Amino acid sequence: MILILCVILIALVFEYINGFHDTANSIATVVSTKVLMPREAVLLAVVTNLLGAMWGTAVAATIGNGLVESQFVTLQTILCALIGAIIWGLLTWWFGLPSSSSHALIGGLCGATLASAHDNWSVIRWSSINPATHQVEGLWPKVIVPMIVSPVVGIIAGFILMGLLMVVLKRQTPRHVNTVFNKLQLVSASFMGLSHGTNDAQKTMGIIALALFTATHAGIFQGLPSWMNFLVSTKFEVYAWIKVLCALTMAVGTAAGGWRIIKTLGHKMVKLQPIHGFAAETTAATVIQIASHWGIPLSTTHIISASIMGVGATKRFSAVKWGIVERMVWAWVLTLPVTAFMGYWCQKLLHFLNIAP
């Protein structure tokens, strides 16, 4: 019983870190364009992330029940996955790199499950058809392909949207454009915050639901008093209390801010005006909403960063500081393998210490 409570607590720690690590995703542009002051932007992100986190469970189902064979997942496995994701999240936050908390959690889960199954690679669901929904599931279609495609889509869509805005508004004075998009960027920033909450908060919901399902089938909840039956999960299900708990935790983390990453996204990568912020946020939020509908745990970090690149490139190609972009790309590429490595060896260590089966 103590172990399941520890897993839930550490999952919430991850959600909190995810909140302040990824705050920049929804407010970096609105801060850098000076449409909102930092405190106002954080408040906007808190409210919209909270609302978004309560919306849907498709991504949670993918994380908890669509990437690895659940019979090989123990509470220790989930614990190791979370530890790997937390360490990587803190490291990249410290260096101001907008890495993906989503991919960190997925990498940690896959690595830890592989170790739990004693190096049986078949425990990782690479690609399959769900007989109930007839949809394609697995690591390849739900994670790897979107990881590669979404930044490309973000760059191209951001470039096209910004180009269209420039054509439509070419006869308008810069002052008039700034006045209009100062207001419109509040809408796009809210849309981005809502989309971020919809996709990102669900990852921890999936992990907690998976932990309860695992604990129930391991017999940990036998003999519990009736008032604690809310923990029992005979089938994989994201309960309402899990949604509320994760949503509130992410909101608190968001309120803590993520100023190191905001500086990278909003100031170092490219100089933005309100119209650029509107285009980048609208592009990213739309892509994230589409992904959330299909249960794809998209990296909100990747997509907003790519959208900013695409929008910035409409000024001139050299307007984007590609040296900063290169550092970010390395963080993106390394996230899955590094966290998988961490999760794997954390689980192996528990085996060695006879703490895990």
At 321, the pLDDT band (50, 70, 90 cuts) reads low
Nearest CA-CA partner of 212 in 56, 70, 19, 57: 70
Residues 94-152: pLDDT tens digits?
Answer: 877 767 888 899 999 999 999 999 999 999 999 888 777 677 888 999 899 988 888 88
Residues 286-301: pLDDT tens digits?
Answer: 999 999 988 888 888 7
pLDDT of residue 137: 82
The stretches of the chain forming alpha helices (DSSP H) are 2-32, 38-53, 58-65, 75-94, 101-116, 139, 145-168, 174-217, 240-256, 259-263, 274-293, 300-312, 322-352
pLDDT of residue 164: 95
Q: What 3-state DSSP class applies to 217? A: helix
Nearest CA-CA partner of 21 in 261, 329, 308: 261
Nearest CA-CA partner of 269 in 212, 308, 215: 308
C-alpha distance across the termini of the chain, in Å: 16
CB atoms within 10 A of CB 215: 23
CB atoms within 10 A of CB 133: 10
pLDDT of residue 24: 61
**Burial (CB count <10 Å: 0-12, 13-18, 19+), residue 290:** middle
pLDDT(263) > 70: no
Q: What 3-state DSSP class applies to 68? A: strand
